Structure 1
Amino acid sequence: MTESVLGDVERASRTLGVDQFQAQAAGLLTAHRIAVAGREGPHEFRGVVQVAQVADIQVIYLEQGIAVDVEITEPIDYYDVIVAMRGTSRISAGGGGSLIDAGHGAVLSPGMRASMQMDDDYGQLHLRIEQRTLDRHLESVLGRPVGAPAGFAVPMDLRSGPLRSWRHLADMVYGDLAAGDGLAAHPLAARSWRDHMLTGLVAAQPGSYLRALDDAAHERPHRRALARALEYCEERIAEPIGVDDLAAHAGVSRRSLQRMFAEELAVSPAGYLQRLRLRRVRADLLDGDPAATVTDVALRWGFAHLSRFAAAYREQYGELPSQTLRRR
């Protein structure tokens, strides 16, 4: 049963067959295959699909009413935080396996596939977080642009510490959405709850920005040096600056600068400069001088080798710069 807001799934009066369920779930998440498992329990598929929105986080409830094996067939391009509302599932992703139950969740990061074995009484909540949403939140918390996209450990221990608090918040949001008339429906409250959930996720779940967030909270000295380097990048990005220039401006050695970028941004200084220049190129191609060519824009932002530039641009944005220009 599909609803515009999450309702009481226990009282759902209509359920979906496996094909309808798979089509609706794939439209909300990603392509997958479902196989009815040969385990003991009910033998009739009784699918429930419900969805709601908390600002720009999509909240999706799924249940099948029967033991199933699910395989995600394409890499996801968003973050998927999965918690069990009841029952148990086992997930394999990122080279390992873990449990999803009352005390354990899972986080899938962009580029991952997964397979799951779900018990017949399993009901799962998915929080779909777009990569751009998490990037913007990280930039706001860190006070600077992010480098590589965040990656998280898959297992999520919800039994103690900050992640237990995060689970309480998720339960409160879910309950408010299920009631249908709570604060989660109010745009201002929804944005506040979204920010709390995102901050809790990045600050508590092991991931590539955990140390950077800890440093931001405690104002580590090397973070100030990194901030000087990033500010210099923004100010001089149109000039032929390099790694040695950044290190000199930040007041650290080249090796220290490389280590800071790797630990804080998960990217090298040269890689960061390239991404920043590519971002400026894309902005100009989409909304710049109508008479400018791709070559003009590439040279303006310091790309002298046009074939390498085109390859790097395509890897970053999934299309050639000439294709971006035609969409102006």
Structure 2
Amino acid sequence: MSIKYYLDQGVENSLFQKQMSFEQDWGLIQNWSDQVYLPFQVRPTGEIYDPTAYMSRINIGQFILSRFTYGIPVEISKFSENCSRVLLLTTIHGHARHKIDKTRSIITGLNQSYIMDSSYPDDYAFLCSEDNIQLNLSIPKHALQELTIANFGHDAPLSLWQSRSRFDGDQASWMALLHYVYHCLKEIPEQALALKAGQHLQQMMGLHIINAWARRENIDLNQPIDVAPHHIKRAVEYIYANYQYSPTIVEIAQAVGVSIRTLSSTFKRHQQMTVGQMLRKVRLEQVRARLLAADAASNVMDIAYACGYINLGDFAKQYKQKYGELPSTTIKRN
């Protein structure tokens, strides 16, 4: 049975059936996936090069629930490190192979899921069969961190965010929760999903994800993790106060009174990113905030320079990777 026939007939009676769009242009497919997931590289692995992709998405609070297929066998790799998102990938037709490390991989079949934090892409690769269809959740990592802190009093340990693993299994509680969410979405107006209804479903799914992920990795979230040293807090404050000057790690270490080695090792352990990644993150966030608040007299170049950017080409590339649009598009909305 062809993938197109399978979807056209609506065998699954999916919520996304009426919203499904068909696309064969690689560029348009990439633009869609950059916004829903994050930038990555895709290459066909079979004899057929042209995709027959079906795509649909729906926002549930800050979470994005999507249904997606390329319609041909592909390999997905080289995930962007600039987008900190947790991806929970559930196979609902065909199969997919997820690379854990250089020697190990996991195959997901019907109703089986895989979870990873895109902050640590390393050599991750994702191979899909021709008939593969995914029902995926794309989640801002900070949303799960905030939920963890609110319910346990502290963030999850770094080992959880760095882990890659199968998530529950066939007919497990996660599939039951997805089934519940699916039926809720058939009754809740789409605009309400950005308000209380969406927040309720987001919290329900988020807590389940955090708890199930921790159980899978044998992590007790009730046990607090190491408290970050005071110099980490001061380093973060220094970055926010001086991001426009592009401080070096030497300058930051001197400002907080520790060695470069101490700052580098402890910062990554407690912030789940390097000092350089934090600086890039803060600068991009500040640029975006200024672009969204810009008046008619403002322009992208002046705002980028004010936030410490010198090379506008690199800036525009980083900005699009993180936010899925060019900075000129952001400022034009005002």
- In the superposition, the TM-score normalised over structure 2's length comes to 0.55
Partner of 1:194: 205
**Aligned residue number for residue 239 of structure 2:** 233
Counterpart amino acid of 2:175?
D
Cα offset for 1:196? 0.7
Distance 2:109 2:327 in 1: 46
Per the TM alignment, residue 224 of structure 1 is displaced from its structure 2 partner at its CA by: 4.2
Map 1:80-99 → 2, pairs under 5 A = 80-83=87-90, 89=95, 91-93=97-99, 96-99=104-107
2:120 counterpart of 1:114: no
For 2:208 and 2:202, the matched residues in 1 are separated by 10
CA distance in 2 between counterparts of 1:192 and 1:231 reads 29
Alignment gaps of 5+ in structure 1: 7-14, 16-20, 36-48, 64-68, 145-149
Give the Cα separation in 1 of the matches to 2:295 and 2:178.
47
What are the superposed Cα offsets for residues 94-137 of structure 1, whole Å, 9 maximum, x if unpaired? 65532336996423666865324599xx9x8733224xx33433
Amino acid at match of 1:71: P
Alignment of 1:170-185 (within 5 A): 170-177=174-181
- Distance across 1 between alignment mates of 2:216 and 2:207: 14
Question: Residues 91-240 of structure 1 correspond to what in structure 2 (within 5 A)?
Answer: 91-93=97-99, 96-100=104-108, 105-107=113-115, 114-116=126-128, 126-130=135-139, 133-138=140-145, 141=148, 153-156=163-166, 158=168, 168-177=172-181, 186-187=197-198, 189-200=200-211, 203=214, 218=224, 220-238=226-244
Residue aligned with 1:107, SS: strand
How far has the Cα of 1:151 moved from its partner? Answer: 7.0
- CA deviation digits over 1:40-60, x for unaligned, max 9? xxxxxxxxx999875454557
Change (3 A) 1:140 1:273: farther
String of CA shifts for 1:67-104, please: whole Å, max 9, x gaps.
Answer: xx96246668875424568x994625465532336996
The whole-number CA distance in structure 2 between the counterparts of 1:97 and 1:287 is 45
Report the Cα offset of residue 289 of structure 1.
4.5
Larger RCO: 1 or 2 (CA < 8 Å, sep 6+): 2
Gaps of 5+ in 2: 1-9, 24-28, 47-54, 155-159
RMSD over aligned CA atoms reads 5.4
Per the TM alignment, residue 265 of structure 1 is displaced from its structure 2 partner at its CA by 4.0
For the pair shown, the structure with the greater C-alpha radius of gyration is 1
**Structure 2 residue aligned with 1:263:** 269
CA, structure 1 residues 234+192, in 2 after alignment: closer, same or farther (shift >3 Å)? same
Partner of 1:40: none
| Cα offset, 1:183, TM superposition | 11
Count matched residues.
Answer: 274
8 Å CA contact retained: 1:52, 1:177 = no
Asked if the contact 2:294/2:331 (under 8 Å) is kept, the reply is no
* 1:315 and 2:326 matched: no
**1:79, 1:108 within 8 Å by CA — same for their partners in 2?**
yes
Give 1:99's aligned amino acid.
I
Q: Residues 233 and 71 from structure 1, CA distance in 2 versus in 1: closer, same or farther, beyond 3 angstroms?
A: same
Structure 1 residue 231: deviation in Å?
Answer: 2.6
Change (3 A) 1:97 1:190: same
Q: Structure 1: how far apart are the matches of 2:97 and 2:303?
A: 46
Q: Aligned partners of 1:180 and 1:320: how far apart in 2?
A: 35
Once the two structures are aligned, what percentage of the paired residues are identical?
13
In structure 1, how many angstroms separate the alpha carbons of the residues matched to 2:327 and 2:182? Answer: 45
* Alignment check: 8 A CA contact 1:88 1:99 kept: no
CA distance in 1, matches of 2:43, 2:109: 21
Contact 1:103 1:157 survives alignment (8 Å): no
Q: CA, structure 1 residues 293+141, in 2 after alignment: closer, same or farther (shift >3 Å)?
A: same
